[in-house]
Chains A and B, each alone.
Chain A
Amino acid sequence: MKALRRILSLQMRMRLRQLNPFDRTQNEKKSTGFRRLIGIIILLLMLAGMAIFLEFKILDALLVLKMEKLILGIIVFAAMLSTLFFGLFQCLSTFYFAKDTAQYAALPISGRTLYAARAIQVYLSECILSLLLILPASILLMIRTGFDILFLLRVILVALLAPVLPLSIGALLSALLASFSGLWRHRDAITMVGSIVLVMIQVVVNYSLGQVTGNLADDPELMLRFLTGRMDMIDMITGAFPPIRWAAHGLDGNWGELLLFCLVTLASAALVIWLCSRHYIEAALRAEEHPVTHHKGSLSKTAFRRHRPVVSLLSREMHEILRSPTYLVNEIMGTIFLPVIMTVGMGFGFASNFDGDLMAALDEILGANIGIAIPAAILTALVCFMAGMNSVASTSVSREGRHHGIYRNLPVRGSTCLWAKFLSGYIFSIIGIAIVTIVGMIALPKFCLIFALTALWSLLMCLIDCIIGIIIDVSRPRFHWNTEQEAMKQNFNQVLTMLIGMLIIGLLGFLTYGLFAWGMSEKGYIAVITLLLVILSAALGVWMHFKTSQRYACIDG
């Protein structure tokens, strides 16, 4: 226990110093700390604001229907599902791809102690999401319906325990994947394919669980049963996974089910730690082992081919992404999977609900005969919202980590390095957009024009996103990281890029409204938006080429 406490204390100290905006290097000014603090506060307020706004709206609707308790099931469901979604890669990265495992392995620490310490570390980092989702809605419910202090205690207990079960599932899956890939010689490739398969399973599970709520609106009889009170509402929404029901009933005052939820949750964590920590250090270090091969005279001709510096740098960036399961899966998740699933799912949803007539659906929703520009703009906004998660570009400088000096030492211009980094990220965006366009055109052939316009605007928007990401990452690179997950997914620069991307989408939305209100024709609107995006891309490209590259050449790693 003493060793566990000491490891935890060390980990927490390092993490807090990482988050501390005033923990600066010698070269940074004090004002940088203040700017960072303000940025963090704005980000937290925005995220909390979005969650509160959404929950407020849902609660309002449920209060009208006198189904306010349904919010309890919804928030627990959302918290657990989100933790499962984000937690899997956090588990895989923290348990099996941490760079400090060898340091711990040389010390007299048991695998169980190290595993438990890392499990707590993962839990603490994922707990924030659960608190952010559960607390605001519960407090709103308490304000509206007058619950007592015991309710608040139950809320805190559930919010703290909600991430445990999904993380246990994530830890178990990552242990299985690490063990399975350890059996093979090409373990990186197996880990990558395994991670992608797990992502797809997660998406399918999430989608099918999402259908539980979707069915409610679709099925009039079900709704009738709800309204006549013949079916327990919380049971309906949480029926897919009993612990959610126990937690929701527990929040509602059923102490027995709350106790059951707590026991099952804690037992799952104990069981997973007991199972996965056996031979943990060996398994974690195996992920770092690479087979020794003695190739004699078997180098291909391509190995000797000469390339321009930008091509070589791009090739190095791509190799780094493609050979790291954490980088690759995080990247394709945001830039390819989510846009494809969302747009295709949405397209089919509209098509099935409106007998395949997407335009009729949009006309009905927007209340007017709208042409192709508005659907294309909406689709572009959705694609870019997801593609804004392009973490390859927005973390490309931070990912250099301790090897930044190698780049500094290269006799190439900073701009060459940055364009290579830009291309490495933009390639993934192009793949995502191409798949969305092709699948969309095949699934809904009547709307080829909409998808073509979406593709054009998305390409420009993603180009802007990638350049902004690089500009931000150059201005505040994070070279000190321990896991690839920290370098990419937990990098504040990526979130900042996403927020700026969302801001641009929002501004374009306002502009769209203004232009149509002003009476502009559809062709005129398409021309204005396209021109605006082209000018913005060019301006940012020039900025990155001249200004940012100068700054990049002066970064001290």
Chain B
Amino acid sequence: MIVFDHLSKSYGHSDVLAVDQLDLTIPSGELFGFIGPNGAGKTTTIKMLTGILTPTSGDCFIDGISIRKNPMEAKRMIGYVPDGSDLFDRVTGIEYLRFIADMYDVSEADFRTRLDYYLDLFDLKDAAASQIRSYSKGMRQKTATIGALIHDPKVFILDEPMMGLDPKSSYLLKEEMKRQCSLGKTVFFSTHVLEVAEKLCTRIAIIRHGKLAAEGTLEELRNREKAESLEEIFLELTGEGEGENE
């Protein structure tokens, strides 16, 4: 379960809040979509949730464990696929994944089993022995995804996961997200692709200027905003012509 408790963040003593008093609870077994226009605060929220950024105020809890007070324990439960997938360049895919597994204390047997499964799933077996610097953007994204899943995390967090993936890999990733969800894990992801959120998510939150604009199932949002598609709801709640950079 993920809980955001009055979470706020301002960068570098700025008076502008990138995230403003965010309150959300996401139970286990949910596939939660986090959407919003550019610069709305999605990546900042995810970075605070994964312990990369320290909140200015408020806290995030993973299964009741505070990321601020017990970051190590909380991080052990998270698998995170960052936006852009900036990975270590001069290591091979397999070395990178073994390194990540070591950080999470994954046994050799578990590592082998999961590695075989995910390398097969994402069709990376042939490339695993090559250095990451020779990988395409999609291959990097897939390697980062395997890295996030190699320790079988309770909470799977993805920042714009479909970026750079080909249709097949995108489909496979969506299936994997659903599978994680069916295993009782929490999947939390941000996306700009509203169709993906519409088809995949059990619940959706829309964020604007760092504040929660709406939250609920697609049905609840439709009823509340009296709109048919998620696109209409999104445009209604965020307004047109938003274009600030995140």
Is A10 a contact partner of B91 (Cβ separation < 8 A)? Answer: yes
Q: Which residues of A contact B90 (CB under 8 A)?
A: 13-14, 17-18, 23, 480
The digit string for B89-121, where 1 denotes a CB below 8 A from any CB of A, is 111000100011011100000000000000000
How many whole Å from A99's CB to the nearest CB in chain B? 7
CA of A286 to CA of B104, assembled, Å: 25
The CA of A286 and the CA of B54, in the complex, are separated in Å by: 9
Chain A 380-430 residues near chain B, CB threshold 8 A: none
The DSSP consensus for interface residues of chain A is loop
Count of A-B residue pairs with CB < 8 Å: 93
Q: Are A291 and B80 in contact (CB under 8 A)?
A: no
A291 near B95 with CB under 8 A, answer no
Report B-chain residues with C-beta under 8 Å of the C-beta of A100: 86, 88
B95: nearest chain-A partner, CB-CB: A13
Q: Which of A107-115, A131-139, A270-278 contacts B (4 or more CB under 8 A)?
A: A107-115
**With A10-B91, A14-B89, A103-B88 in contact, do A291 and B12 touch (Cβ < 8 Å)?**
yes
Q: In whole angstroms, how far apart are the Cα atoms of A2 and B50 in the complex?
A: 22
Q: Mark B200-232, 1 if CB is under 8 A from A, else 0.
A: 000000000000000000000000000000000
Q: Given A2-B102, A106-B50, A99 and B86 touching (CB < 8 A)?
A: yes
Cβ-defined contact, B52 with A106, below 8 A: yes
A105 to B, closest residue via Cβ: B52
Residues of B within 8 A of A105 (CB): 50-52
Give the complex CA separation of A11 and B36 in angstroms.
37
Structural contact, B16 and A185, CB atoms closer than 8 A: no
Tell me if A103 and B75 are in contact (CB < 8 A).
Answer: no
Instruction: Give bound CA distance, A110 to B73, whole Å.
Output: 11
Determine whether the beta carbon of B133 is less than 8 Å from that of A14.
Answer: no
A17-B90, A106-B80 known; A187-B12 Cβ under 8 A? yes
Q: Which residues of B contact A107 (CB under 8 A)?
A: 75, 100, 103-104
Residues of the A chain whose Cβ atoms lie less than 8 Å from the Cβ of B12: 185, 187, 286, 289-291
Q: Answer whether residue B72 sits at the interface, using C-beta atoms and an 8 A cutoff.
A: yes
In the complex, what's the smallest C-beta–C-beta distance from A277 to chain B, in angstroms?
A: 14
Q: Say which residue of A6, A183, A285, A294 sits within 8 Å of B53 (CB atoms).
A: A285
Q: Which residues from A are CB-within-8-Å of B103?
A: 3, 6, 107-109
Give CA–CA (A282, B67) in the complex, Å.
13
- Docked CA distance A290–B11 (Å): 6
Q: Is B126 an interface residue (CB 8 A)?
A: no
Q: A3-B103, A14-B91, A106-B75 are in contact. Are A185 and B13 (CB under 8 A)?
A: yes
User: Which 6 residue pairs across A and B have the least CB separation, nearest first?
Assistant: A291-B14, A291-B12, A108-B75, A14-B90, A17-B90, A185-B13
Would you mind naming 28 contact pairs between A and B with Cβ atoms under 8 Å apart?
Answer: A10-B95, A13-B91, A17-B90, A99-B86, A102-B47, A102-B86, A103-B82, A103-B87, A103-B88, A106-B78, A106-B80, A107-B75, A107-B103, A108-B73, A108-B75, A108-B76, A108-B103, A109-B103, A289-B11, A289-B12, A290-B12, A291-B14, A291-B16, A292-B14, A292-B16, A293-B14, A293-B16, A482-B89
Q: Mark A residues whose CB is within 8 Å of B.
A: 2-3, 6, 10, 13-14, 17-18, 23, 25-26, 99-100, 102-103, 105-110, 183-185, 187, 282, 285-286, 289-294, 480, 482
